[in-house]
Amino acid sequence: MPRCGQPISPGKRRLPVDDAQHAFWTGYVRDLADSLGLKDWDISIWRDVTNSGIGGRITCVSGRKQGCIELGHSFFQSSPDQQRHILIHELLHCHLDPIDTAICHAKAHNDSETIAVLHSTVHTEIEFAVDGITAAIASRYPVPDTS
C-alpha cells in the first residue's frame, strides 16, 4: 500500500496547487470528516493526481481508520458546490469500505461468476448510496471558500 503523498503509478502529475492550497484542502476535508462521523480517521490528500478526469477518489487502508483522497484535475475546474459534493462523497466511502473490502476479498478467493456479479452489484449500489446520501446532506455543510 503506497503512503499518501507518494506517487502510486506512472503518469501522475503534481497536484496543481501550492503548499498553502494543499493545506487549505486538507483543513477543509478535516472539518468535513469531523462532521461526518470520521473524527477518529486519519484523512490525507494525495499530492499527485491522474489525468483520468475523475473528480476524486479515496483509498481506505484495510484494518485502519485511514483514508487517502486523490483529487482529479477536474476537481479544480469544479464549482465550490461540486467540490463539496466530491469531498463529502469520498469521505462517506470510509463508512462503507468494510463492505467493499469484504466483497473484494470474497472475489479474490472465489472467482465464480456469482461472486463477480455480486462484486459488481455491491460496488455499483455503494456508489448510488454514497452519492444519494451526499446529495441529501451536502447543503448542510459549508462550501469551500478559496478566495
Binding site residues, Zn ion, CB under 5 A: 127
**Smaller CB separation from Zn ion, 20 or 136:** 136
**Smaller CB separation from Zn ion, 21 or 132:** 132
- DSSP state letters, the chain: -PPTTS--STT-EE-SS-HHHHHHHHHHHHHHHHHTT-TT-EEEE-SEE-SS--SEEEEEPTTSSEEEEEE-GGGGGS-HHHHHHHHHHHHHHHHHHHHHHHHHHHHHH---HHHHHHHHHHHHHHHHHHHHHHHHHGGGSPPP---
**Smaller CB separation from Zn ion, 10 or 36:** 36
CB 18 → Zn ion: shortest distance, Å?
27
> Which residue minimizes CB distance to Zn ion?
127
CB of 24 within 8 A of CB of 59? no
CB 35 → Zn ion: shortest distance, Å?
19
CB 147 → Zn ion: shortest distance, Å?
28
**Smaller CB separation from Zn ion, 20 or 88:** 88
CB 133 → Zn ion: shortest distance, Å?
11
> Using CA atoms, how far apart are residues 9 and 70, in angstroms rounded to an integer?
12
**Smaller CB separation from Zn ion, 23 or 102:** 102
CB 127 → Zn ion: shortest distance, Å?
5
